Structure 1
Amino acid sequence: MNLQFLGGAREVGRSAVLVDDSLLLDFGLKTADPPQYPVAFGGHGSAAPDAVVVSHGHLDHAGAVPALLSGDARPPVHWTPPTRELALTLARDTLKLHGGTPRCPFTEEDVRRVTEVSETHGYRDPFEAAGYCVEFFDAGHVPGSAHVLVDDGDTTLLYTGDFHAGGRGQRLVAPSTARPDADVVVTESTYADVTHEPRAAVEERFVDSVRTTLWEGGTVVVPAFAIGRTQEMMLVCAAHDIDCYVDGMGVEVTRMLRRHPEYLRDGDAFARAVSNARVVDGRDGQRRRIADQSTVIITTAGMLSGGPAMTYVPEIHANPVNKLCFSGYQVEGTPGRAVLETGSAEIGDRHLRVSATVEAYDFSAHADREGLFEFLDAYRNTPILVNHGDSCEWFAGELDARGHDARAPELGETVEV
């Protein structure tokens, strides 16, 4: 079995691994300016797999899938039902924002073709793809996220995708417990150099801070990723009897997830969280009125790079009683990162110096250092290929020191396993 790392090798973003020039695992994009795509696409040759398997519905794993259908090829695309809907939602949002420009490598017709070739599968439901036996296992990252097990009859590959293991996990989905037998493992390593604060402690600090601000009459804006984090923050608010508004693409994602309660940790708790949240209808006038209330607003974009946050942040930024509570990692070069580091940023078409209190909370949906070790301990005698991280080589060395056979492939490299 030959594995070619077309993206995500020694980097975070544009994940894509091609198995024997036939089966493509993920095909994502890297959010940069301009966006970056796997190296077998866009001036670097062409990716023409016989079949595609997508681990989960985030941009860096599924964001470029429609581009695979822009030519004559029509490879079937395999994923779980939530991943299918999430990926299509992202594709339509990309078209809305960048359609017809070089920032979008596909068309509405390509997205329509995705619906024609889509094949959905549940967890532990083996299926055939490009001549391989493939099986999904719950990865505990976002609803529908999967570890992907690929068997060619001689070699079994475990592609972890993004996953959460160890600890209590999230309210939205339970942590991964699956450890299927494999001859080789390709693992993510996003937080290989981080130890997450215990989740209960993070939640307690967040809730105490929010309640203090509300008691003082302030407004709390919580920038959140539309997929996973918006719903997680809704669950946190509902669990602690905190009223909130929800705005942005997360509203559509929330409605979709209600159709798939079997992929949630607690469908009843999710239904209560949905009932607890008030949905914003998308009018800026309504948003400005809400921003004047003493309330919590969960909204995209998670890094202040677009979405309704472009209305809310300018409205609340000048009052020190208000709060801006980031719920996820802020990538370098984003307005969110600038606000955290300097207290000011370009928000929309304005340069804002933020006087509101700015806080950051680690509600990560990825395994941290100890979670990665705990997961990979089940593969002590199995070769491990480390990708999807900013410190892949370093983490491979850490695994070697613990007795694993690990290495970090380079971008574009082909590895025989």
Structure 2
Amino acid sequence: MDVRFLGGAREIGRSAILVNDRLLLDYGVKSDNPPQFPADVDPEAVVVSHGHLDHVGTIPALLSGDARPPIHWTPPTRELALTLARDTLKLRGGTLQCPFTETDVQRVTQVSERHGYREPFEAAGHEVTFYDAGHIPGSAHVLVDDGDTRLLYTGDFHTDDQRLVAGTTARPDADVVICESTYSDVEHEDRSTVEERFAESVETTLWEGGTVVVPAFAIGRTQEMLLVCDAYDIPCYVDGMGQEVTRMLRRHPEFVRDADALRRATSHARFVTGRDGQRKRISDQKAAIITTSGMLSGGPAMTYIPEIRANPTNRITMTGYQVEGTPGRDLLDTGRAEIDGRVMPVSAQVEQYDFSAHADRDGLVEFLDAYRGADVLVNHGDRCVAFAAELRTDGFDASAPSRGTTVTI
């Protein structure tokens, strides 16, 4: 089996792996300025692990020519990919920062093939099986069997339970494992402890008469925060793309941990239309406002932050990792953020909570313990080489291929 790394190797973003020059696993984008894309490729078929931009953001570009490779994914991943593609067109369509057109996105629907977990299917001469990866709804480990070698591509995964999805328990037999390493040097705090600290902070702010803005990624994180707010009876609003994603996930109850809980949480929240100055009025409410974007790089958050920033009773609670150079990271580091081209000081209290949907170091090693006899190829991380070396010290046959490298197994 030949495995070529077109992107996502020794980096986070633009994940893309070509198996036997025929089968493509993921085709994402790296959200730099300008965006970075994987190497060009013309596969016979495409298999997608999950619906985040760094794994699906360039998929429609595969259909911009004459080729029409079938695209295999779970039902939620298909809908998330299309939602993200249409949002990209809205933000960047017609520019060099968008490598596809509306026609390409329409073609995606024509070649889409949906599969559930543990239901083997054929793709480009390979037997492929999805296993629940516990990252976001519809996320999958991808097992690829070419008749000689069994390759497990982990995609992004979590071994611990979240409110939205349960942690992965799948450990299918494999000769080779391509393993993500996003948090290979991090130990997550216990999720229940994080939730309790978050809820106590929000409740205190509301009791003091303040407002809490909760920047959150639209896919996965918004729904997780909805569930937390419902569990602790915190009044909340939801704004941005997370509304559309929440409605979509409710149409796929088999891919969430507790569909009834998500229904209750959705009913508990108030969804924002953004009409008639609604956001300005909401900024004065004693409530949590869950809104995109998670790193303050756009979206309705850019309306709320200027409204609440001057009052030290108010609070901004970051719920995810803040990439260096983003307004969210600048706010955490300096207490100031660039909004609409202006750098604004923020007197509101700023906090960060670890609601990560990725396995931490212990989770990664725990997962890989089932594969001590396999070749481990480390990717999707800022320290792939270091983590591979640490795994070798622990007895694994591990390496960290660079982008553009072909590994023959």
The bucket for the TM-score relative to the shorter chain is: over 0.9
Q: Which residue of 2 aligns with 1:116?
A: 110
The CA distance in 2 between the partners of 1:235 and 1:64, in whole Å, is: 31
The CA distance in 1 between the partners of 2:155 and 2:297, in whole Å, is: 25
Q: Which residue of 1 aligns with 2:150?
A: 156
Q: Which residue of 2 aligns with 1:283?
A: 275
Q: Cα distance, 1:347 vs. partner?
A: 1.1
Alignment of 1:264 onto 2:264: no
Alignment of 1:12 onto 2:12: yes
Deviations 1:43-63 (Å, cap 9, x if unpaired)? xxxx10000000000000001
The CA distance in 2 between the partners of 1:176 and 1:159, in whole Å, is: 14
Alignment of 1:173 onto 2:165: yes
User: What RMSD, in angstroms, separates the aligned Cα atoms of the two structures?
Assistant: 0.6
Q: Which residue of 1 aligns with 2:96?
A: 102
Tell me, which stretches of 5 or more residues in structure 1 are unaligned?
A: 42-46
Instruction: Describe the SS at the equivalent of 1:61.
Output: helix
2:149 maps to amino acid:
T
1:20 maps to amino acid:
N
Q: Cα distance, 1:288 vs. partner?
A: 0.5
The CA distance in 1 between the partners of 2:95 and 2:139, in whole Å, is: 30
The CA distance in 1 between the partners of 2:107 and 2:192, in whole Å, is: 44
1:18-37 matches, cutoff 5 A: 18-37=18-37
Q: Which residue of 2 aligns with 1:411?
A: 403
1:325-344 matches, cutoff 5 A: 325-344=317-336
The CA distance in 2 between the partners of 1:172 and 1:379, in whole Å, is: 27
Alignment of 1:243 onto 2:256: no
Instruction: Describe the SS at the equivalent of 1:206.
Output: helix
Q: Which residue of 2 aligns with 1:44?
A: none
Contact kept, 8 Å, 1:131 with 1:152, in 2: the verdict is: yes
Q: Cα distance, 1:350 vs. partner?
A: 2.5
The CA distance in 1 between the partners of 2:239 and 2:258, in whole Å, is: 22
TM-score, scaled relative to structure 2 = 0.99
2:148 maps to amino acid:
D
Q: Cα distance, 1:293 vs. partner?
A: 1.0
Q: Cα distance, 1:217 vs. partner?
A: 0.3
The CA distance in 2 between the partners of 1:80 and 1:393, in whole Å, is: 31
Deviations 1:152-204 (Å, cap 9, x if unpaired)? 01100000000001x4x210000000000001000000000000011111111
2:340 maps to amino acid:
G
TM-score, scaled relative to structure 1 = 0.97
Q: Which residue of 2 aligns with 1:365?
A: 357
Deviations 1:53-90 (Å, cap 9, x if unpaired)? 00000000001000000011000000000000000000
Alignment of 1:202 onto 2:202: no
Q: Which residue of 1 aligns with 2:43?
A: 49
Deviations 1:28-49 (Å, cap 9, x if unpaired)? 00000000001x23xxxxx100
Q: Cα distance, 1:131 vs. partner?
A: 0.6
How many pairs were matched up?
Answer: 409
1:257-406 matches, cutoff 5 A: 257-283=249-275, 285-406=277-398
The CA distance in 1 between the partners of 2:237 and 2:116, in whole Å, is: 32
Instruction: Describe the SS at the equivalent of 2:338.
Output: strand
Q: Which residue of 2 aligns with 1:222?
A: 214
1:57-68 matches, cutoff 5 A: 57-68=51-62
Structure 1 segments of 4 or more deviating over 2 A? Answer: none
The CA distance in 2 between the partners of 1:103 and 1:317, in whole Å, is: 32
Q: Which residue of 2 aligns with 1:135?
A: 129
Contact kept, 8 Å, 1:284 with 1:311, in 2: the verdict is: no
1:247 maps to amino acid:
D
1:257 maps to amino acid:
L
Instruction: Describe the SS at the equivalent of 2:24.
Output: strand
Q: Cα distance, 1:283 vs. partner?
A: 2.7
Deviations 1:334-367 (Å, cap 9, x if unpaired)? 0000000001121123221110000000000000
Instruction: Describe the SS at the equivalent of 1:406.
Output: strand
Q: Cα distance, 1:294 vs. partner?
A: 1.1
The CA distance in 2 between the partners of 1:268 and 1:292, in whole Å, is: 31
The CA distance in 1 between the partners of 2:337 and 2:195, in whole Å, is: 27
Q: Which residue of 1 aligns with 2:87?
A: 93
The CA distance in 1 between the partners of 2:260 and 2:115, in whole Å, is: 24
The CA distance in 2 between the partners of 1:278 and 1:16, in whole Å, is: 38
The CA distance in 2 between the partners of 1:349 and 1:280, in whole Å, is: 25
The CA distance in 2 between the partners of 1:90 and 1:238, in whole Å, is: 27
Instruction: Describe the SS at the equivalent of 1:320.
Output: coil
Q: Which residue of 2 aligns with 1:193?
A: 185
Tell me, which stretches of 5 or more residues in structure 2 are unaligned?
A: none
Identify which of 137, 145, 148 aligns with 2:139: 145
The CA distance in 2 between the partners of 1:77 and 1:359, in whole Å, is: 40
Q: Percent identity?
A: 73
2:112 maps to amino acid:
S
